A and B are shown apart, each in its own frame.
Chain A
Amino acid sequence: MSVIVFTENWEGKFKKSTFEALSYGAEVAKMLGTTVTALAIGEISDSDLKLLGNYGATKVLSVKNAKLNSFVAQPYSAIIAEAAQKENAKAVIISYTYTGKAIAGRVAIKLNAGLAAGASALPSSASPFTVRKKCFSGKGIADVVITTDIKVIALTPNAYQVNTGSGEAAVETFQPTIKDTDFSLVSKEVKKTSGKVVLTEAEIVVSGGRGLKGAENWGMVEELAELLGAATACSKPVADVGWRPHHEHVGQTGITIGPNLYFAIGISGAIQHLAGVSSSKVIVAINTDPEAPFFKAADYGIVGDAFEVVPKLIEEIKKLKQAHH
């Protein structure tokens, strides 16, 4: 018996969401009285593979094959399912990232398993196996009961903490069956669109709305983000008029995020916008209008002009950084 955790990497380095999934998987394994086997696909150094033990893996199955160095959903799904069968897995944990979304459903079907897509917390009970997830785009919560023997959980990034311990995982080479017919999708090119920080994985997000009056005023948003190691985002109207690219649009019809800290600058807080950011742990709203709905959803707020407040905020954060340097 085991819990399988699929570990995603980006150019050979594991992502933070992977450490979250392993930490989560370790707790699920405890509930089920078993251990975690991590599955890693791609060229990753042995030392990095062993270090997965620090996050709860007892064993690592390592798949290295030149055909698998970039992600393709069908063969990856087949490998995860084969690993789950080989390890007699009771649960499979996948991060609910773009990659995870492309494979979770396939893995579940291959294993005849029920799927909780977008889990936001640990299972509240092992029998019946119940997992909480957001629904209605963050406006509701559902307790999903998986009734199959094997359970597949796709865990929302930033929803579970990283638990770091010490342990070295035993690395085993795994040579799965690879079907050529699973490679009918041909990747032509990957274009990087975001800055240094990936929006869906960012700990801090600095977001601007119509209150910023024009594309030319985003300098201070970018400066604040840079200072905090944050990703930048925007509201729907801003993306619609083209001040910012669509891939920065957060909200019900854009990207859903759940960072530790979300700055909403000059965003009124329409219900559709709030749906996309309501999972943020701490929300700061800056708006000239004291009646802006965002002040009902925020933890901290400043009623004031962004053009006055944001430069001061940058100054104060610089001071804080210097004091702690």
Chain B
Amino acid sequence: MKILVCISHVPDTTTRISFTDNKALNVTGVQFIINPYDEIALTRALELKETIGGTVTVINVGTSATEPTVRKALAIGADDAIRINAEPTDAFFVASLIAETAKKNQYDIILTGRESIDYNSAQVATMIAELLDLPCITVATKLDVSGSEATLEREVDGGKEVLSVTLPFVASAQKGMAEPRIPNMRGIMSARTKPLLVEEPSATKIFTNVAGYELPPAKQACKLISKDNVAELVNLLHTEAKAI
């Protein structure tokens, strides 16, 4: 079983976001982590490897700045890593580079997180699947493999859907698929010597760009209402906010 897990290098969830001249994320003092959903995907891939055998490769599209994040994935337990040396611009750019590499290496399962917590497009998995003409199970909360068949559960509006699929396929992981692991000392030590292949990007088309970034508008000060006057809150929600 060959599993490919796509990982993204994103600001830690507690980061206070700011932008430099509204053109780029201000990275000063920002701690970067493996995208939390990608970490769930990686953990499930390792669990599958432990039960049915095989290899787990992580892939990242990023500059050398992402290497500590890639090494962390190796410390958690991935066997090897590929970094495609390019600044990611959008979901299509990332997906087309990963799909190129995946075509060469023939993976049985390709996993991503449900979305990255930086650009939140949630489209890398579907795009890789489309480029490779594979089925894709998005926002999957469960993944089990038996022989050449897999059973997954995914979130749908108002519920969950249970699906079965024949390998190979692509899936994006949501909370519930696995509980992330903390790397142990042995993992951290061995990560230093595990293979990390750096590939130069093939030419890819650019379909979108970001003209600028802004922070969301600041909220008006909160209107505080006395706990003894709940009627006033209801009145304000009805007459002023027109929300009830």
Contact = CB atoms under 8 A, between A and B. Distances in A.
A141 B218 CA distance: 13
Contact of B163 (A147, A188, A275): A188
Contact count band on B: 35 or more
Mostly helix, strand, loop or mixed at chain B's interface?
A: mixed
B156 A98 contact: yes
A193 B159 contact: yes
A319 B234 CA distance: 10
B241 A140 contact: no
Contacts, number: 270
6 contacts: A71-B156, A115-B121, A117-B121, A117-B122, A135-B119, A309-B227
B36 interface: yes
Contact of A101 (B139, B159, B243): B139
B136 interface: yes
Interface string B124-136: 1111011100011
A43 interface: no
Given A271-B14, A301-B224, A140 B211 contact: no
Given A128-B211, A204-B243, A198 B158 contact: yes
B220 A10 contact: no
Interface in A187-221: 187-194, 198, 200-201, 204
B120 interface: yes
Choose among B165, B166, B175 the residue with the greatest number of A CB atoms under 10 Å from its CB. Answer: B175
B234 A184 contact: no
Contacts of B207: 108, 112-115, 146-148
Nearest to A272: B13
A187 B164 CA distance: 7
A301 B122 contact: no
Interface of B: 11, 13-17, 19, 25, 36-37, 90-92, 95, 117-127, 129-131, 135-139, 141, 151, 154-166, 169, 175-176, 205-216, 219-220, 222-227, 230-231, 233-234, 236-238, 241, 243-244
B91 A261 contact: no
A109 B138 CA distance: 17
Given A247-B160, A284-B233, 6 more contacts: A114-B208, A138-B216, A139-B215, A145-B208, A253-B36, A261-B243
B162 A189 contact: yes
Nearest to B225: A302
B175 A254 contact: yes
Interface in A274-325: 275, 278, 281-282, 284-285, 295-305, 308-309, 312-313, 315-317, 319-320
A244 interface: no
B159 A191 contact: yes
Given A106-B127, A115-B92, A190-B159, A320 B244 contact: yes
Nearest to A313: B230
Nearest to B124: A105
A110 B130 CA distance: 8
A109 B133 CA distance: 11
Nearest 6 interchain pairs by C-beta: A304-B227, A114-B207, A105-B126, A105-B123, A117-B121, A261-B243
A37 B124 CA distance: 28
A223 to B, nearest CB: 15
Given A137-B117, A247-B155, A261 B244 contact: yes
Interface string A155-193: 000000000000000000000000000001111111111
Given A98-B156, A104-B126, A185-B163, A284 B237 contact: yes
Contacts of B25: 136, 140
A101 B213 contact: no
